[in-house]
Amino acid sequence: MSVHLDTLTFASVPQQDQMLRDRIRAEYHEMPGMKLTLSQAAKLFNVETLRCARLLANLVQDGTLSSKGGIFALPDAGRQRL
């Protein structure tokens, strides 16, 4: 299933999604090198694809995550740490 994130509305995350959004944020910070596709994230977080797309897009919009080529990661996940 192909979902174009730019076609979704991101005005606000419903209250019921706030806990899931916090969990997604925490998982990425717990594993800073984690890079997931939408499909992988939906499976990992056990959530419907469209709902997951909306949550991930909201996290991209607020700067928590970045998305390049359909891969979601922390903005600095590509940097080498010495």
Residue 66 inside a domain? The answer is yes
Single-letter code of the amino acid located at 3: V
pLDDT of residue 22: 95
pLDDT of residue 59: 97
Residues 16-60 have pLDDT tens digits of 789 999 999 999 999 999 999 999 999 999 999 999 999 999 999
Number of separate domains in the chain? 1
Burial 51-69 (b: 16+ CB within 10 A, else e): ebbbbbbbbbeeebbbbee
Q: Which domain, by its residues, includes 44?
A: 15-73
Residue 10 pLDDT exceeds 90: no
Which domain CATH number covers 23?
1.10.10.10
The pTM assigned to this predicted structure is 0.76
Residue 79 inside a domain? The answer is no
pLDDT of residue 6: 55
Residue 48 inside a domain? The answer is yes
Spatial CB neighbours of 45, under 8 Å, sequence gap ≥ 6: 20, 23, 24, 27, 52
pLDDT of residue 11: 46
User: Please, which pLDDT band fits residue 67 given cuts at 50, 70 and 90?
Assistant: very high
Residue 78 inside a domain? The answer is no
Residue 3 inside a domain? The answer is no
